[in-house]
Structures are given as structure tokens and as C-alpha cells.
Amino acid sequence: MGVGQDCRNHNLALLNHTKHRKKQLLWPIRWTLVCGVLLFVVGLVSLCIGHVVSDQEWYSHRFIKRSWYYKMDRAHAPVDIWKSEFSKFYYGCSERGPRFTPAVRERSSNGYLLIAASGGLNQQRTGITDAVVVSWILNATLVVPELDHNSFWKDDSDFVDIFDVDWFISSLSKDVTVVKRVPDKVMRSMLKPPYTMRVPRKSEPNYYLDEVLPILLRRRVVQLTKFDYRLANDLDEELQRLRCRVNYHALRFTIPVSDIGQLIILRMRKMARRFISVHLRFEPDMLAFSGCYFGGGDKERYELGEIRKRWTNLPETTPDKERKRGKCPLTPHEVGLLLRALGYNNNSLVYVASGEIYGGEETLRPLRELFPNFYTKEMLAGVELQPFVSFSSRLAAIDYIVCEDSDVFVTNNNGNMAKILAGRRRYMGHKRTIRPNAKRLSAIFMARDQMGWDTFAEKVKSCQRGFMGEPEEMRPGRGEFHEYPASCICKKPLKYSGNGSLGTVPIVDARAEYRKIHNTSTMLRLNNSEMQNVPAPSTGTDDVDELWGD
């Protein structure tokens, strides 16, 4: 993969290069040089074709096999930084197959499954998603999962405080029976308290059938603890699509939470037609854990070093090495530089989703200077946010809603929220989602003083190819399913392409879908003056200076 990527990038640089050369050489034409360069290009092209052809087994039947010239054509086409040009050819699909066994009713199920989902909001989301799949595998009745109250995030919220529990139960009714609690009658008939166990990470379905099912049948109620990534990444397509039904449809936030999210979106869209959301993980704990250095001198080394002592068995790390390996979260300044290099200008509206930022305002200032139109949920809805401030998961949910809706989403990290949102944005129509190619960016950032802005920007653009949230970046087998939900992305039949009316092909329009779900209350309760002059969602016609490519 790495080789192919490099090859393509190199090739691209060369193509750009020859183009410039051609302009200079138009008069007098030095044919020998042109021919030489062209021959060299042809050689490289054929090298790359070799790679692409050998790569084709990556694309399953769900993806059309793209021909190499399509790829080559893409390589030097300008990229619209606000919208993926190819998103219109794909849509999120997670329908049940005709042979998918429907939900087993409570009375005939093999027993009750209690789940304790662990971690912060998005880790819990993966746990809840997989809990439904495990319940299906076991023909068990799922009891609405419990959320972790003791994680780093220290939040006492229960499932019902964050997610719409009735919707969760009803929208899954065809797949898995979900109940709010184990009936008293069953509890009373039990001789012992529920059996509690923890399954290994990423267990195969067979593990559950072999190890959990017998206990479930014997005891009627089994509790699985620390439940997050406890089910294998690669599952049968039908089960992957069940994951999508849970994650993208059944799990929706409660009305109070989604109201605030919608309010913030409304206030953002009143200021500009489109906006970028930036998800920053820059809490002291995370930075200390990463073992990286972020440029804060001895003070930073001391403070993060002290925090790092909390974990007793962390490996010794060299900050420089971690950075070269792409393991360090980008600083807010670096995120700003990345965005500016990609072509977003200083007028762009930016929403920053974050918890505590190490160094506070001081750390954020360089980003603010690059993007003066900078907003946070506190700035946009300080008063309305008051009831939520002591609940970190609900605050995270609000950020999730705004980040999901934004035209462009970028993160400085590779955490759970970054991955889950990247996957969701693919499913909901491939909205522009920028994942920093940290490994290659780190070298460019380190050498920034040694080059001019234009060179820097060119290098950044070239190294971000393949990390911009384009549909074609996705290949079955790449990365985690939550980030690349390949089984749930379908391609529209080609004959329909480019035409707004798509016959019988279902299209998931993220925003319409979201509005349909969240509309009921929000819009009615917001006051009239706020409802006026809300611009329509962007359609993505862009000024030339906002394009990048060549």
C-alpha cells in the first residue's frame, strides 16, 4: 500500500512538474526534453498501473472495479475542498437481507443479556452496537445497556439520558428484542445473581456460541462487563449491516441533547452557508499518555511527565520517534496550518469541538489567528448549555451532532469519536472528512521553516490525498469497520449517475434524514426570529481559490 501511495504521489508531483515545464518551454520548444520527460512519465505510469491492477482484489462486488485511467484522471483533477465530487455515486445501505433471521421474541429467547458498556460516549456506542449483534447471535433478549460511570469521563448519565430509548427498542424490533429490564418474575425465579463475565477483545461470533450461550441457557441472565470492542471487526455482511442499523439509525440522541445540537447548527448556519468542524483532543491526560512533545518547553515536559506517572506500565518513549511514527495528536496550530494549506481561507467559519485544552487560550490562539471566525458550543449557546455542563457525555453528544452536520470535519487525533464520525459521515453521504496523515505530515511540519508557504501547501495537499473522505478511499478490509463501514456503502447504478431522479434507488440524504428524526421538537421550540434567514445547506459550488489540485 505504502509503495503504491508513494508512487502515485510521486507521479503526481511529476505530472504537475511537467505541466509547469511545458508552460515555460512553449517557446522555444525543446522537444527532446519534453519527450524525455514524457517517456519517464509513461514509465512511471506503467509502474503504477501494475500496482493498481494487483490491487484490484481489494474491491469487492459492492464496489465497481475502477479502471486505472479513472484513477489517473482523478490524480490531477482539482479537489473540491468542501464537497466530494464522487459522493453522489454512493449511498448508505443497511437493509436486512431476505434470509436474515428476524428477532426472537422475549418468551422464546435463550435468556437475557445485560451489558455494561465501557469508556466515553463513542466507545460506549461501539459497545452498544456490538451488544445488539451479540444478542442476535445468541437469540437473546437484550436489556437496555448500562453506561460506564467510572471512566476517565466521569459521567453519571444513563442510557435514557443520552439516547432515545423507546426509539432504540422499536427501531430494532425486527432484529433483536430489547427490553428495559429483566422482568421481576424472572429475577425472582433465579437461584443465584446473574452470571457476570468479560469476553476477550474482538471475539469471533463462535466464541459467544461456545462460551456464553451454554451459560446463558443454564442461568437465563448473563452480564457482560467492560463491553466495548468485544466483537471481531470482520463479520458476515448481514451482521455488518445490522451494526449499521444500530449505529446509524437506532441510536439517536434524546430530544434535550439534540435540541442544543440543532440550535448550535442553526446559529452557525446563520453566519455562513457552510462551516468546518474541528475536533480537538488536547486534554493534558491524552497528551501525557501519547508520550509526545508539543513545543511547550520544560514546563510542559514537567507537567506531562507528572501526569504520565499515573500509568505504571507505559513503555519508555522518545517524543521524536513517536512523532515520526505519526502517533502524536496534531496541535491546534498544526490543524490550522493543515486547513489553510489545503485551501480553506481565513474567512471560513470554524466550529471547535473539544473538552479541556492543555494550555487553554494560549494553545488555541494560533488556530484562532489562522481562522478568526472561530466558535465553540460555549460561545454559541452558553446559556442553553448550563443544564449540561456537568455531564461530559452529553456535551460530547452535542459536539457529535454539530460535527456530523458540518460540511467539513477534521480531527487532530485518531480516537473513538474521530473514527465513529468519519464512518458516519461516509454512510450519510460522504461529506468531506479530513483525517490527518500524521505520519507524513509530521515530517513536513518539522521542516516547515525550510520552505516557503507554497511549497509547504503543495506538500501538505499531496500527502493528504487518500485522507480526504472520498468514497474511493474505502476498501473492504481497510481499518476498523466503524471508520470504514464498507458493507453499508452501496454504489448507485451507473445509468442513474448525474441525474437527480434516481428511480427506485434509495438515497440516504444525511441532512434530510437527520432533520426528519430531530425536527419534531427543535424547530417548534426555537423562537421565530431564530428560524428566519437560516440559509439552505450548501450545495458545493466553489470559488476557484477554494479548490486544490493544480
Ligand X SMILES: *[C@@H]1O[C@H](CO)[C@@H](O)[C@H](O)[C@H]1NC(C)=O
CA distance 466 to 373: 28
**Of 159-167, 462-470, 486-494, 527-535: span binding ligand X (CB under 6 A):** 527-535
- CA distance to 261, 277, 375, per residue, from 353 (Å): 12, 7, 9
Nearest of 260, 262, 242 to residue 250 by alpha carbon: 242
Q: By CB under 6 A, name the one of 150, 312, 347, 504 that touches ligand X.
A: 347
Rule CB under 6 A: say whether 5 interacts with ligand X: no
- For the bound state, the minimum distance from the C-beta of residue 531 to ligand X, rounded and expressed in Å, comes to 9
Our finding on whether 346 is near ligand X (CB under 6 A) is yes
Sites for ligand X among residues 490-519 (CB under 6 A):
499, 501, 515-516, 519
Minimum distance from residue 149 beta carbon to ligand X (Å) = 32
Spatial separation of the C-alpha atoms in residues 231 and 207, rounded to whole Å: 9
CB of 32 to ligand X, least distance (A): 43
Stretch that binds ligand X, among 27-35, 241-249, 360-368, 522-530 (CB under 6 A): 522-530
Contact (CB, 8 A) for 334 and 412: yes
CB 260 within 8 A of CB 254: no
Backbone angles phi and psi of 259, in degrees to 5:
-60, -50
Query: With binding defined as CB under 6 A, does residue 11 bind ligand X?
Result: no
String of contacts with ligand X for each residue 152-191, x by CB under 6 A:
----------------------------------------
Report the DSSP beta bridge partners of residue 79.
Answer: 548
Query: Least separation, in Å, of the C-beta of 529 and ligand X?
Result: 5
Residue 367 touches ligand X, criterion: CB under 6 A:
no
The torsion of the CA quartet 18, 23, 29, 32, rounded to 10 degrees, works out to 0
Q: Determine the Cα–Cα distance for residues 458 and 437; give it in Å rounded to an integer.
A: 14
Under the criterion CB under 6 A, does residue 54 sit at the interface with ligand X? no
Nearer to ligand X, 446 or 512 (CB): 512
**Cβ proximity of 456 and 517 under 8 Å:** no
How far apart CA 323 and CA 10 sit, in angstroms, is 23
From the CB of 3, what's the least distance to ligand X, in Å? 40
- Binding-site size for ligand X (CB under 6 A) equals 19
- Find where cell 514537567 sits: 302
- Residue 461's nearest CA partner among 361, 368, 355, 344 is 344
For the bound state, the minimum distance from the C-beta of residue 25 to ligand X, rounded and expressed in Å, comes to: 34
Rounded to a whole number of angstroms, the minimum distance from the CB of residue 515 to ligand X is: 4
Minimum separation from the CB atom of position 138 to ligand X (A): 6
Q: Does 541 bind ligand X (CB under 6 A)?
A: no
527 binds ligand X (CB under 6 A): yes
Nearer to ligand X, 47 or 104 (CB): 104
Positions 195 through 224 that interact with ligand X (CB under 6 A): 209, 213
Q: Minimum distance from CB of 501 to ligand X (Å)?
A: 4
CA distance 291 to 293: 7
Contact between 535 and ligand X by CB under 6 A: the answer reads no
User: Which grid coordinates belong to 414?
Assistant: 485518531
Q: How far is the CB of 393 from ligand X (least distance, A)?
A: 27
The window from 437-445, 462-470, 523-531, 541-549 that contacts ligand X (CB under 6 A) reads 523-531
Taking CB under 6 A as the criterion, the residue among 530, 531, 535, 550 binding ligand X is 530
Among 11, 118, 123, 139, binds ligand X (CB under 6 A): 139
Nearest residue to 17 via CA among 27, 5, 4, 36: 36
User: 491 forms bridges with which residues in the sheet?
Assistant: 90
Phi, psi (deg, nearest 5) at residue 421: -70, -35
- 469, 489 in Cβ contact below 8 A? no
Give the position of cell 525550510. 450
Task: Give per-residue burial for 67-88: e unless 16+ CB within 10 Å, then b.
Answer: ebeeebebbeeebbbbbbeebb
Pick from 215, 523, 534, 547 the residue near ligand X by CB under 6 A: 523
What are the residues binding ligand X (CB under 6 A)?
101, 104, 110, 138-139, 209, 213, 346-347, 372, 499, 501, 515-516, 519, 523, 527, 529-530
